[in-house]
Structure formats: C-alpha cells, structure tokens
Chains A and B, each alone.
Chain A
C-alpha cells in the first residue's frame, strides 16, 4: 500500500498520474476464495478484464450499487484487502498462439512443458459467438474413428456432437484418443481439452499421442485442479473458440472435452459461492444453457469447415439418467454408452449397444457402410434382446432358428472387439462385415 499522506485525495491523483492507461481504479474490499469485491472502479464495463496489481487478473462478473464483483482467473500471489485493482478497457479474454499445435497449453497460451508463453500470442474471447442457424449446413461427411462399433453402428460425422458416457475406467478417454490418432493424414486439427486431470495423466496422454505421430496436428489444452475453478470453467469455451478459428479457415476440427461432469461441478461451485439460487441437485438453473451454448459450437459450417465435438461424461453405477447426463444427452447428436459390465467381460470398446444412439446415423455413412451397418446393428440388437429373455434356457432345447440367431449374435460381438490404437479403415471394415452379413463365413462359427 502506498503511503497515507495528510491529503489522501492529492496522493491518489498523483498515483493515478504516474500510471499510464488507467481507465479506473479500485481497491479490494472483501474476498472469498477467488471472488473479490472491489470498491471504486465506477467506470468499469461488464465482463471487463481487471487486474490486482502484479498479483492476479480476473473479470467483472457483477456491477453492484457500491461495489464491483470480480472473479479471479489467474492468481500469481495471494491477494490482500485494500490491494489496488485497475481496469483494462477491454473485454476479458484468453490467449491463443498458432504455435500451440503439438504442445500442451493453457488458456493463456502458456506452454505447460516449458512454462513459457508463446511469442506469437493473440487475444481471443472466452465465450464463443453463437453460430446462426443459417450458417450451418447438413452434417453428412464421415469422421472415422477406426472403431467398427462406432463407424459402422453409431457413426460420427464432421460437425456432429457425440457424447461418450460411462463409469470410471470403462475406456471413455481411450475412445477420444483413438479418434484423434485416427485423424492422421486427414488435414484435421484436433484439440484435446483436459479438465482437472493430474499432470501425470496429461503427460501420459501427450506421450501416447506423440508416439503415434498424432501430436503433429493436436493441441492439448489443459486446466489443472490447481489452476482454480474459474480457469477450469472457462477452458472448454476457450478450446471451442480456438476450434472456431480453424473452422473459419475451412478446416475440420475434432474437439474432445474430458470431461463435462467435472465442468458442471465447477460451475456449481462458482455459482454457489457467488450466491446464485441453487436448482435441481444444487446446480444453478442455467447449467443446461452452459453446456448447450458450448456444444452448439459443433457444426458443419456453410463455408466448408466443421467442428466435431466428443464430450465425455462420467457416470456413477452406470446411471445415465441423472440430471447432468440427461442434459447433455439432450444436447448432443447421439451418445456412446460404455458399460462397466461389458468392459469386465473383455469387450473393448465396451459399448452398450442397446443404449447407444447416433441421431445422424446413415446420413454420415457411405452407402456401403450404411447398408452393412444397419443390418449388423439390427441383428445384434435382436440377439441381445433375445439373450436377455432366454438367458437361462438351454441352447440345445432351442429350435434351429433361435440357435442360429444366438451363434451369429455372439460372433458379431467377437467381430467388433478391437484393442486400443488398432484402427480399421472403412474399406476393410465394410469387407469384413459384409461377408458376415451374407452368411459367408458362417461355417467357421
């Protein structure tokens, strides 16, 4: 704190004069975690960037009658009451650098591996702009993951939002990574958004992707637990804003958000601390809008580029009908449900075929893939339903039709089993399953 002279007003004017580009000045009046209240700053704008001198930066989240509420996004050292707060005259934003590709970065374009900022940093907004309905076109080009249980049965198209949902340790992240690794040679930019992961986990992901040559076209955008809640809350939006830049250059972008369950919980934390009224399960009323506005960034743009989003949601006890999960299911264009039971039985990826859906389905498949996929899926679902009802019936007592249905069903389950990072190209996939659908390799069953 500067010296308190006999004439505080004169001191303050002097202080202001010594600093350039000051739009407004205030002092920290109250603090609660990362939310501070500032007195003064009469001329500040809503969502304007402000900084607590040399200590922290944040944005204006509320302009009250006497004070201004600021949420701190990045704090270098502890903030104290009466610290000076200055306005910046510009909307709060993040940073992005074209050099981020191949690196692990945060929302301020800091290279997490070296701890340095990139030289060529551009200021970008946090909240992505709404993409108007008329700027979108049909989602109809396939985005291959190399996994037959996805590409063939629950396909993903460029511009689609496909949820990956399941319990802990059922292979959710792996599907995202498989999809990223499979984009090699496709001129696609991939963004893997890691939220609240441990540094070790993120480093492992980096090494995995690096060893498969996938980092050449991938940005890992990370917010760790110790970066604080506001940073965790904003990082997915910044990620989609970056995706937007590439989409507008006409590129296809694949974004994996790992994961939105944590994001919802962080948003709840911030909202409750800020004194918002809690709603269902104590989430604020606008948690649906939070995720809807985020995932609506996924689209096939009329100018050629696209953003495909694979958000990940973690469930407990296989319960996909809780509040946050159903919210996100109702936003996305389909969901890939992973089942712990199938995972334990050795099915990889552990897709729950009954619960998974792709709303776009055949629209994003080639005609060959579509016809094979539809046949195989129908046969598999019919088998799974029969298996459920006749679980305890002895196979020898069944009639010929039923026995054949069951043998073929089991064979399909075997065929879609795939180990991680072992993609199958679309042509091979069609060939393999077309032969089966025709009953060609039935003798070998």
Chain B
C-alpha cells in the first residue's frame, strides 16, 4: 500500500510526506531506489509527516520517491526452526540456510503481567569459583557481567556457555549486540565443533552494522527466547553480549532524529527503552528465562547512566575491574562490588554466607595493609595483620581460575570447581591451614588438592 513520498533525507533518518493516516510508529515501509528496495521503520508521526529510520544503506535515495507499507512490521521466525540457525536483527537468515514455510511473529511483543511472572527457582552452578562463591546464580535470574573495555567480559560469557549451557537440558538463545563479528563467527564454529548448534538460536546485530540493526537485535533475540519459553514450555538460557550496546544504539538513533539528549548523549527515553526489553526476560509458571548479560562500562565510568539503568533490572552482578586485571588476575572480579540476591543466610546457608563475609572483610583489611607495607615494609605488621596480609594474597590468587575457553591463551587446561570444594578451600585458607605454602601455588588452579 502506498503511503506517501520521501520529503527529506539525512544520514539515518528519512522524512515521508504522508497521504494517509494508516501509518503508525514501528511500521515497516519501503521505497524503491535503483531497482533495490530500501526498508525503513517509522519512528514518529508528526501530522502529515513521518520520520523513518532506514534499515540498510540509503545511498542514492532521492526526494519524491514513493513509499509503501509492508504489513506486519519487523518479524522473526517463531517455530522450532529457530534452533540451529543464525539470524540478523530483522529476522533474516545469515547462515546460508533456508526455512521452509516460515512462521513469523512481530518482534515487539507485549510485556508479561505481574500475575504471569514466577520468581522461584533453584540454585544454578557455573563451576567458576569467584561467581559461585560471591555471586551465586538462580534459575530465572538476570546476572549482569560488568566491565570496562578489554578486561574479560566476553571470555566470561564464553566460559559460562561452556560450563552451563553444555550441561543444560534444554535450549538456549544467544544475542550478539554491537560486539565483534570475529567473536560471532567463533561462537558459531565452537557450537558446531561441540555439536551444540542444533540446540541454540542465535541473533546477531554486530558492531559494524548500523544503529537500528544493533538496537533491534535485542527484541528479535527475545522473541526467539519467548517462543521457547511460551510455546515449548522450556527453561531457556539466554546469553546477551552486550546489552549496553542496545542503549548506545538507541542514543545514536535518538540523536539522528534530532531529540535533545540527556547527559553523556543518552536518549531521554533510556529508562523506558531498557524496561521494555528487561520486563520481557522473566519466568512464567510453564517456562523460565535465565540470563547472563554482559554490560560494557564506557570510559570505566561506573556511574554511567545507561549502566545504572540496566543495573536496576539485574538480580546479581559480577564486576570486573581493570586494577585487578592489571595484576594478571583473571577473572578480574572486584569482590567488593560483586553481589547476588542469593547471598543471604536463608538462601545459601549460614556457612557460605559467613565465609563470604569473612573473605570480604579480609580483602578490605588487605587493601589498607598494602599501603602500609609499601611504606614501612612487611616486618612492621603485627602478627594478626601479617596473617591477614598473606592469607588474603593466597585467597586472591585462589580465585583466579584457568578457563576452558582460554586454554589456548594461557596454555593451562580449564577447571570446573564444585561449590563444596570452594567453601572448604576458602575456610582452610582463612583458617591458616596453608600458612606454610607459597602464594604462587594458588595461582591458576582448580580446587586445592590435598
């Protein structure tokens, strides 16, 4: 159906002079230019003029071209065919495969009501010492993995896929938003090699693609996850790398539409945008979505608005710190900021809770002592402080872990560690059982062998 003509064109927005009122926000429209269809999504309608965001390249687009409506808006496959396939943000297949008799669904699904949401679930182990100890995970949780550029978020996501997904009974969804295409390709290859591709649905809107593509990858990926939860009644594992890029892409679109930004250039509708996505990631009585979401911290600024908007929706957070990574400690977990709603006596039990408290207190004292030692030397410490100092260093080294996915990098085989072992080891280190041992012996090991 013809809806109007192109009026103005700029980098990422096209104004359309409408001839009809049958057009609304999030409708998909198209114009033909040089024998090629250019698709656009309506962003706002202002009287008889609509502004639209192009979904692809607009080179050569001209004023006065006819614009037509495509019914149904943005859609993605909504059937068992999602498994084993790789989609772009607009529901197109990019793995060279085809789907016969496609059954698609609009990617902007309504949110769940309060009555539909189920909040109970069992503890979910990851085999990563620092995570299971400081920020244990529960089925149905949203866990945020935060870190600045280049300190190991993606490695952690990959390790979680390796440790959790590979032992997971049902299907998973991976959503790549604004990350590296090389890593996207590696993920597909890894899944193929371990014969797991058939159990996962993948959606990519990577960093080399326009903002709209990076933004809509989130909604497309969620539609796939919702299919598995609602139609197949499954417990779905959802990996998102990286949800910050969703808000970043939205701020680019908003700026291009000429909206006045808030601080750091984010769009004014930041909170609404993230809520719309996050409220879809929940569990119901029939199925659940458990998610691990990497969150990029721009300019290492923990007070960043977008990061904080995302954090309000998380049930737990693992914070990775550059200061710790600098010391060669991976995963570079900042224990002071890493937390989970599960760390409570009635959830993980008294022993686990106590050990976490003691560890954090010990690390806090260590930080103070580090300065004292640098100035006065180790001999000036009291006996108690001396113990705290060396035991904390051992404990810090103990929380390093060789990862399965970085075997090639470290040259060390990966380790999966049971939570019981972690609790015993931490108790023994803090209790002084290993005071005689060298701290290097705790560096990149699994559980302590005895």
Contact = CB atoms under 8 A, between A and B. Distances in A.
B112 interface: no
A15 interface: no
In the A-B complex, list the 10 residue pairs whose CB atoms are closest, starting with the nearest.
A279-B265, A296-B208, A361-B409, A381-B328, A329-B149, A330-B149, A292-B207, A374-B411, A354-B326, A285-B255
Contact of A46 (B9, B86, B186, B298): B9
Contacts of A279: 251, 255, 261, 264-266
A331 B207 contact: yes
Interface in A294-311: 296-297, 299
Nearest to B207: A292
A97 interface: no
Interface string B418-440: 00000000000000000000101
A361 B411 CA distance: 10
A354 B327 contact: yes
Given A280-B265, A361-B409, A382-B328, A138 B10 contact: no
Nearest to A292: B207
Interface string A112-147: 000000000000000000111110111100000000
Contact of A363 (B150, B207, B408): B408
13 contacts: A47-B59, A62-B10, A65-B8, A159-B182, A277-B265, A278-B265, A280-B298, A286-B255, A288-B207, A292-B178, A296-B207, A392-B375, A393-B377
Given A133-B181, A361-B408, A321 B299 contact: yes
A333 B182 CA distance: 9
B356 interface: no
A366 interface: no
A87 to B, nearest CB: 11
B11 A62 contact: yes
A367 to B, nearest CB: 9
Interface in A258-315: 276-280, 283-286, 288-289, 292-293, 296-297, 299
B406 to A, nearest CB: 8
A62 B8 contact: yes
A63 B10 contact: yes
B298 A326 contact: yes
Interface string B274-299: 00000000000000000000001011
A403 to B, nearest CB: 14
Contacts of A284: 255, 265
A332 B260 CA distance: 31
A422 interface: no
B299 A280 contact: yes
Interface of B: 7-12, 33, 58-64, 86, 94-96, 148-150, 154-155, 178, 180-182, 184-186, 188-189, 204, 206-211, 248, 251-252, 254-256, 258-261, 264-266, 296, 298-300, 322, 326-328, 370, 373-375, 377-379, 406, 408-412, 438, 440, 443
A330 B296 contact: yes
A277 B94 contact: no
Nearest to A328: B149
A61 B182 contact: no
A297 B296 CA distance: 22
Contacts of A397: 379
A382 B265 contact: no
B211 A289 contact: yes
A297 B256 CA distance: 24
A346 interface: no
A292 B249 CA distance: 12
Given A277-B260, A285-B255, A46 B61 contact: yes
Interface stretch (A37-45, A73-81, A166-174): A37-45
Given A45-B59, A63-B8, A279-B261, A133 B207 contact: no
Contacts of B61: 45-46
A382 B440 contact: yes
Given A133-B94, A137-B185, A371 B261 contact: no
Which of A48, A285, A354, A355 gathers the greatest number of chain B CB atoms within 10 Å?
A: A285
B12 to A, nearest CB: 8
A132 B150 contact: no
Nearest to B370: A389
Given A326-B149, A389-B373, A391-B374, A63 B9 contact: yes
Given A61-B11, A285-B251, A331-B180, A47 B62 contact: no
Contacts of A218: none
Contacts of B296: 330
Which of B58, B322, B328 gathers the greatest number of chain A CB atoms within 10 Å?
A: B328
B327 A276 contact: no
Chain B contact residues: over half helix, strand or loop, or mixed? mixed
A53 interface: no
Interface string A398-413: 0001000000000000
Contacts of B322: 321, 355
Contacts of A137: 185
Contacts of B7: 65
Contacts of B9: 46, 62-63
Contacts of B374: 388-389, 391-392
Nearest to A279: B265
Contacts of A428: none
Contacts of B266: 279
Given A133-B94, A134-B94, A46 B58 contact: yes
Contacts of B438: 401
A91 B62 CA distance: 12
Contacts of B326: 354-355
Contacts of A357: 150
A332 B182 CA distance: 10
B184 A133 contact: yes
A327 interface: yes
B252 A285 contact: yes
Nearest to B33: A45
A61 B60 contact: no
Interface string A360-400: 11110000001100110010011001001111110001000
A351 to B, nearest CB: 13
Contacts of A378: 328
Contacts of B180: 296, 331, 333
A46 B60 contact: yes
Interface string A53-66: 00000000111110
B148 A370 contact: no
Nearest to B298: A326
A322 interface: yes
Contacts of A331: 180, 207
Contact of A296 (B181, B328, B440): B181
A209 B86 CA distance: 45
Contacts of B186: 138
Given A63-B10, A64-B8, A138-B189, A277 B261 contact: yes
B264 A136 contact: no
B211 to A, nearest CB: 6
A375 B443 CA distance: 13
Contact of B182 (A63, A136, A335, A375): A136
Given A133-B184, A136-B185, A389-B373, 17 more contacts: A43-B62, A44-B62, A47-B58, A134-B86, A134-B185, A136-B182, A277-B260, A279-B264, A293-B209, A296-B206, A329-B150, A330-B150, A361-B410, A371-B411, A374-B411, A393-B377, A393-B378
Contact of A286 (B209, B252, B379): B252
A286 B185 contact: no
Contacts of B59: 45-47, 91
B387 to A, nearest CB: 17
Contacts of A354: 326-328
A151 to B, nearest CB: 15
Contacts of A299: 181-182
Contacts of B96: 134
B255 A134 contact: no
B10 A61 contact: yes
Contacts of B208: 130-131, 292-293, 296-297
